Amino acid sequence: MSTERLLGALALALVAVAGLGHLASRTVLAEPAPPATVRPQYVAAPAPARALEPVVPPGEPVGVPRLDPAWLSETSASSGVPEPALRAYATAQLAVDRSCALGWTTLAGIGWVESQHGTIDGRVLGADGTSDRPILGPALDGSGDFAAIPATPESSAWHGNDRWDHAVGPMQFIPSTWRTWAADGDGDGRADPNDLDDAALAAARYLCADGHDLTTGQGWADAVFSYNHAQVYVDDVHAAATDYAERTG
């Protein structure tokens, strides 16, 4: 495991929002090994119903992949995923190395579990991929079973707490992990964890970094487990991702 990957894992990729059933109390600061036994419920990794291809006018650089508008509208309607969120997940799928068989449905499963695609507690996800109100996890102050992660001047700029860190944005990145995996998913020149376009690409990079074979059930489960070290989290993401795959199949 690379130093960058190890630091990202130790800091943790995500801490779930209060009310979603995956509180930061489920997080630990050391990376546990996934269970050694094969989990039979993961027979196949959720995958998109059909291939996506970027729409790029002849002679123009590829840049940020652009989706077929008809596919986006149709798939949003059938899946129930808001168009701005679906755009973020599908664009992230196209942006990562093709050797990583990551489907948008997996990112959508994570986005649903973390923040209901940026709409948790009545928030509205805008066309630009940001919610009308910031999404912050609880203070990571070491109380109860919470991890204790002191804030830095850099991290407090994201959440406003100068003492303790919070997970930030629709994919709930801890600032130290965001610093490692930050991405500009929409090409606006800024990497912002509150922007689902950026957060989805950062999450895709994280899931693809260890080389898990996401076409297999075990490889898929191990990748999601590395993202949040709780079996119940893997189960819930799998259920959501599978549902999206079935709705759009």
> What's the number of domains the chain is made of?
1
Q: Is the pTM of this model over 0.85?
A: no
Domain membership flag for residue 58: no
Does any domain span residue 59?
A: no
Q: How many CB atoms lie within 10 A of CB 191?
A: 18
The Cα diameter of the chain in Å comes to 57
Instruction: Answer whether residue 174 is part of any domain.
Output: yes
Per-residue tokens: 86? 């679906």
The pLDDT tens digits for 124-164 are 999 999 999 999 988 888 887 778 888 888 878 888 888 89
Q: What is the pLDDT along the chain (249 residues), one digit of tens a residue?
A: 443 443 333 333 333 332 233 443 233 223 334 444 444 455 456 666 556 777 766 666 667 888 889 999 999 999 999 999 999 999 999 999 888 999 999 999 999 999 999 999 999 999 999 999 999 988 888 887 778 888 888 878 888 888 898 889 999 998 989 999 999 999 999 999 999 999 999 999 999 998 999 988 999 999 999 888 889 999 999 999 999 998 987
Token pair belonging to 169: 């944005």
Q: What is the CA radius of gyration of the chain?
A: 17
For residue 41, give its domain range: 3-53+64-248
Residues sharing a CB contact under 8 Å with residue 14, sequence separation 6 or more, in sequence order? 110, 114, 167, 171, 172, 173, 174, 177, 227, 228
